[in-house]
Chains A and B, each alone.
Chain A
Amino acid sequence: GESVGLHLPTLSVQEGDNSIINCAYSNSASDYFIWYKQESGKGPQFIIDIRSNMDKRQGQRVTVLLNKTVKHLSLQIAATQPGDSAVYFCAENKDNQGGKLIFGQGTELSVKP
């Protein structure tokens, strides 16, 4: 069936290092992808999105890369800070109309000071 999954459930990095969180998706028809950050006790927070006609998109300290050939999505966080510690989810939007989002399991990022 359709799914969006993550390669690693946990990731531990040193403060100041760069972090890379990976995501695999199985539905080649998907055309819109979003990364969310969820801190304990809070709802998911929008980080960055990318459409299938793009390979790369940059935000503030974050970059999302999309490789449609291998159906792979990654989130890069530059100069990781303790405040970046959270669970990160990739989500797939199938109809590009703000409809159903399919979420993966999530990767817990832990930043060591």
Chain B
Amino acid sequence: ETGVTQSPTHLIKTRGQQVTLRCSSQSGHNTVSWYQQALGQGPQFIFQYYREEENGRGNFPPRFSGLQFPNYSSELNVNALELDDSALYLCASSFSEGPYEQYFGPGTRLTVT
């Protein structure tokens, strides 16, 4: 078990709604990355936060946004939910000064109906 926690565990939303997912990083880690994992696929990088700023972004539209707080925890916000947003959302924490391996939380299962 890593020290990365995520909430909620499961969530059901309706198309067009907005959702906020939360992540607490492992102790000593200052960087948080978010990934989307569709069923049967590998995780896809959404973005990373370091020093409370976005530090790299994958191929996701602007309705995916995030925040990082002074305690290094993070939020992922998704606006105008679409059916294809249904997925497991994973956050991973790491330490910017190395070692660089990312440790994942258990994920939040989002279902959009």
Complex CA gap A105/B94 in Å reads 23
Q: How far is the CA of A104 from the CA of B105 in the complex (A)?
A: 19
User: Is A81 at the interface (CB under 8 A from chain B)?
Assistant: no
Among A33-49, those with CB < 8 Å from B are: 34, 36, 41-46, 49
| Chain A: interface size category | 20 to 34
**Interfacial residues, chain B to chain A (CB-CB below 8 A):** 2, 4, 31, 33, 35, 41-45, 48, 55-56, 58, 90, 92, 94-96, 98, 100-107
A residues near B2, Cβ cutoff 8 Å: 43, 45-46
| CB-based contact B100/A98 at 8 Å | yes
A107 to chain B: closest CB distance in Å? 11
CB distance from A89 to the nearest CB of B (A): 5
B90/A46 in contact, CB under 8 A: no
Q: Which residues of B contact A96 (CB under 8 A)?
A: 100
Task: Determine if A98 and B31 form an interchain contact, defined as CB atoms under 8 angstroms apart.
Answer: yes
Chain B residues with Cβ below 8 Å from A89 are 42-43
Chain A 56-99 per-residue mask, 1 if CB under 8 angstroms from chain B, else 0: 00000000000000000000000000000000010101001111
Distance in angstroms between the alpha carbons of A16 and B37 in the assembled complex: 31
Complex Cα distance, B109 from A37, in Å, reads 18
- For A41, what are the chain B residues with a Cβ–Cβ distance below 8 Å? 106
Q: CB-CB < 8 A to B44: which residues of A?
A: 103
Contact of A34 among B56, B96, B101, B107 (CB under 8 A): B101
Chain A residues near B100 (CB, 8 Å)? 32, 93, 96-98
Which 9 A-B residue pairings sit nearest by Cβ, starting from the closest?
A103-B42, A43-B104, A98-B94, A98-B100, A100-B45, A44-B104, A43-B106, A43-B107, A103-B43
A13 lies within 8 A of chain B by Cβ: no
